[in-house]
Amino acid sequence: MATVAATAPGSGRPRRRLRERLGGIAWGTVAWFAAIIFFFPVFWMVLTSFKPESAAYTNPPKFFFNPTLDQYKAVFSTGMGPFLANSAIATVISVLLVLLLATPAAYALSMRPVGRWRDALFFFISTKMLPVVAAIVPIYLAVRDIGLLDSIPTLIVLYTAMNLPIAVWMMRSFFLEVPGEILEAARIDGADLRHELTEVVMPVVAPGLAATALICAIFAWNEFFFALNLTSIRSATMPVFLVSFVTSEGLFWAKLAAAATLASVPVLIAGWIAQRQLVRGLSMGAIK
């Protein structure tokens, strides 16, 4: 092997390695360039949030300035706290509810599939294809008539319904990844259904459960349409806060950037930490 390479004409080996190296550097440069372009608006949002208002409106834009926390103080002083709490409650409870409903359903559609599971699965997915707006009128009227306008439980129910199809679909794919043999092994080892689930199935699908939870949390946290139309003061969430902030405070960019940063940061950090699960979770369904 080595002799063959050494006798190759024109010492092709180092030259090829150099070309590969240069190619790698060029490749990396292009990738970094793309990443910087895509990330720039996020970076700019965070940067602007530390500017005094006067430094936000400049041409050319300012990259260096005396950072200040004034904008964050201003945002907090407008009473963001309750909105943040509402968002957190609606997100956390709806995600828990989604997992509670979707996990058994996905189990029934995968590991011990019921008859006509295909139809059931398709039904779940098809509800996702129907535009939400088309249902907003009766939902609004119904919620109004039972006196649940501007209440967090309303949002929780709707967010659960909104995320349930995706969660069922994802969880089903994760269940399908559990090798059938280990379930049989557990049965032979004497595990009953409860132990089969708690000892064998759940540890295997736990990362999938996390990925599902994360994706549902992102959609619930960012949801705007229901929150805008069905809440007003008591139970409005962060996206609504952003809107009301703009309306009441006017378009002050630095303050706006601070509010936007605060609204986005929980999901942003969660997403960064769990990006591996995110990749897996999103690609499920396309994989066998």
Partner 1 sequence: MATATADQAVHLPGARGQDRRSREGWIRRLPLMPALVFTIVVTQIPFLLTLYYSLQSWNIAKPGSPHWVGLHNYVDVFSDPVFYGALLHTIEITFGSVLIATLLGLGLAILLDRKFLGRGLVRTLLISPFLIMPTAAALLWKTTMLDPVYGIVNWVIGWFGAAPVDFVSKHPLGSVIATVVWQWTPFEMLILLAGLQGQPRDVLEAARVDGASAWASFREITLPHLRSYLELGVLLGSIYVVNTFDTIYMITQGGPGTATTNLPFYIYQRAFEGFDIGQAAALGVVTVVGTIIVATIALRTVFRVFIENESRA
Partner 2 sequence: MAEVSYQDVSCRYAGSDKLAVDHLSLDVPDGGFMVLVGPSGSGKTTALRLLAGLEQISDGRIEIEGRDVSGVDSRDRDIAMVFQNYALYPNKTVAENIGFSLKMHGVSRQERDDRVLEAAKMLDIDEFLDRKPRQLSGGQRQRVAMGRAIVRRPKAFLMDEPLSNLDAKLRVQTRVQIAELQRRLETTTVYVTHDQGEAMTLGDRVAVLKDGTLQQYAPPRELYDNPVNAFVAGFIGLPQMNLIRLPLSDGSVRLGDQTIKLPRQLVQAAGENGSREIIVGIRPEHVTVDDGAGEGIPAEVVLVESLGADSYVHASIEGSESTFVARTEGYDSRQPGTNVRLRIDAERMFGFDAESEERLGDGSSAGGASQTPASS
What residue has token string 């909105």?
Answer: 83
SS3 content of the chain, % helix, strand, coil (to 5): 80, 0, 20
Of 104 and 179, the one with the shorter C-beta distance to partner 2 is 179
Binding of partner 1 at residue 67 (CB under 8 A)?
A: no
- 3-class state of residue 121 by DSSP: helix
* Partner interacting with residue 45 (select from partner 1, partner 2, none; CB below 5-8 Å by kind): partner 1
The reply on whether position 217 binds partner 1 by CB under 8 A is: no
Q: Which residue has the tokens 């064998």?
A: 200
For partner 2, give the closer residue by CB, 205 or 259. 205
CA–chain centroid gap for 265, Å, is 12
179 binds, among partner 2, partner 1, none (CB under 5 to 8 A by kind): partner 2
Write the binding mask 173 to 212 for partner 1: x where contact by CB under 8 A, - elsewhere. ---x------------------------------------
Among partner 2, partner 1, none, what does residue 104 contact (CB within 5–8 Å per kind)? partner 1
Least separation in angstroms between CB 197 and partner 2: 13
**Is residue 207 within 8 Å of residue 277, measured between CB atoms?**
yes
Among 107, 177, 191, 207, binds partner 1 (CB under 8 A): 107
Residues making contact with partner 2 (CB under 8 A):
179, 181-182, 184-192, 195, 199-200, 203-204
Residue 108's Cβ-count burial label (10 Å; 0-12, 13-18, 19+) is: middle
Report what 14 binds from partner 2, partner 1, none; CB cut-off 5-8 Å by kind: none
Is 161 among the residues that bind partner 1 (CB under 8 A)?
yes
Reported residue count of the chain is 288
**Closest CB to partner 2 among 14 and 180?**
180
The span from the CA of 204 to the CA of 11, in Å, is: 51
| Residue 17 interacts with partner 1 (CB under 8 A): yes or no | no
Whole-angstrom Cα distance, residue 241 to residue 78?
Answer: 10
Q: Do 83 and 240 contact (CB within 8 A), yes or no?
A: yes
CA distance 155 to 236: 10
Q: How far apart are the first and last CA of the chain?
A: 39
For partner 2, the closer of residues 1 and 114 by Cβ is 114
Shortest distance in whole angstroms from residue 9 CB to partner 2: 39
Site size with partner 1, rule: CB under 8 A: 104
Q: Which ranges constitute the DSSP H helices of 1-80? A: 2-7, 12-49, 53-56, 70-77
Q: Which does 188 bind (CB under 5 to 8 A by kind): partner 2, partner 1, none?
A: partner 2
191 binds, among partner 1, partner 2, none (CB under 5 to 8 A by kind): partner 2
Distance in Å, CB of 172 to partner 1, minimum: 9
* Nearest residue to 89 (alpha-carbon basis) of 266, 287, 283: 266
